[in-house]
Structure 1
């Protein structure tokens, strides 16, 4: 018999179950997700989802359309009473009216897995910031508020718009379940997507950056697409950076410590990046990492931390591991930061460094950055530098 100690059994994880989602309002800025009430929401949704132009709304849903309001009301009365799927009306805050619905389903508290589905958007919600906020609110509630570890999205493999939406929202494609279901008398192959809790902090930043007021012009047209904010790969000078996950936190902290600790003597104080809470950084900044495995090394070779602000991109940190120094990775990380600024529509990149770090200042100057100002803080002086991007 094989020795269990030598078998690959997977990592040990917390086995505490997640709470079930409750029938409670999930509050947003543009919409609220409200437990479905047939008497209120069905009369608002029926006329918006039925008529000559409405067939496409129901094409990939397992139910509908309905011959009349009575049939519609009967179905939703039963659906609203269920705990799984748990049905929410999507209520537009400006009008107070339901403009769609969505559910949590396949709710599995012991394994902390949950799915979003049965999504119906009326024309008033389709292709709007409110529609995107709806998916943000549900993902945040499942992964951040309730603590689920896996968040699923499934759709008919033929439903190209739904598959594109899943990837735009930050889900990762896992594969096709062939002959998975029979829906309305037709075969359904199902495309499976997932988002993991450790991926959520960076996906959340993408959602929040896209939803920010500055991402829209006066006509309410987006300036940068959500898919760009949620990109998970960044190429620069022959290196591929990937978005960090919570699993990378120990390695990120190790690289930052190794890269910045040597500056203590020159600065006379703790380097700014060593004062940060990196769990908070992962939830408030874009964090990109270069895997050491790409060069035959374990761990991470480098870390790039960025903050997309309304008028510029702040390059908060460019850090390389000692084993990667002299490899040109620092140049690649800085170039990647500038490329990311352009992709996000920022025309200026900014950064800062300690005034005693003259070698850093000269390096940034050679890369096209100029000194804008020197900031006097109680314990240090910071040199702020900027580069206008062509």
Structure 2
């Protein structure tokens, strides 16, 4: 299969990607006729709007996704206007998600520079007198009220800044930009990769998970730059007191380094991990995270020509993707299995499953790769209804 995307293998919250028509139907059902009654209802309504925007982003209709995000921000600003400080803070906190989603959309479109400004604005909530997230103005007094009710929001905004900035830079293949960003994190008190590279990450990031992500970002960037000699420090578990799963993630990168350098260690590491995966050692890892691990691991097994082990790993990935109803990973693993099939029966089974999935899949990334029309006949109407329902909720029809 093509090399996995420049994305993290270690854990951070990931959503599953079900069939888009099914997702739209459920959202329309929840959105139609909805009118928030009381402040607590706004959170649920905002979540539905954010999911609606995500559907259109996956369809490749970024203009409609942005339209929903912008309308949601105007709606929140209008609803918060005239409320007391506490209630206003409750609503304006919800502006973070659509604002971040707009930054992500810019990243998808290749505009990394402007995308990073959106994420930086969110992080500045912790230090600025006031921050404008579109029409939503969050003063220091409002943010203080937010933190009184939700003290974890300091860490949330920091994580958004770090994770989304790194993901955007990796997606744009700006690997030197990734390393420069990591070095600069110390200045904004998030995290730091000190120079020389052999020194450990600073403890400025309180969350081990965030340190893992920063470290992995450096690993990905250096691998893509071919800087294999500089990677050893980042790939040592002792560097950041890695837990058992992240130690396995670091093993993947050590195997990738060895494969790139043509040594046998990569094969040995990949085979050892295959035994652990098939044996269920990682069954407690969040399934959406495990899918990414399996994708990268399978690629490494193919590189070292362990086709039989790769086949077993991808079969586990396919079963997990189907259990989660993640259509993109189901497609990815079916493509790999078709290539590795060892019998005509297997080949026929996976060819059929692949044709059936491609025939109904509306994800833009799949349609583009397969050269098919993005939307099956008639399904566009439910997406039109979704846009109408989302805009109707915020009074933007």
Taking structure 1 as the reference length, the TM-score comes to 0.28
| Structure with the bigger percentage of helix | 2
| Structure with the bigger percentage of strand | 1
Taking structure 2 as the reference length, the TM-score comes to 0.27
Is the radius of gyration larger for structure 1 or structure 2? 1
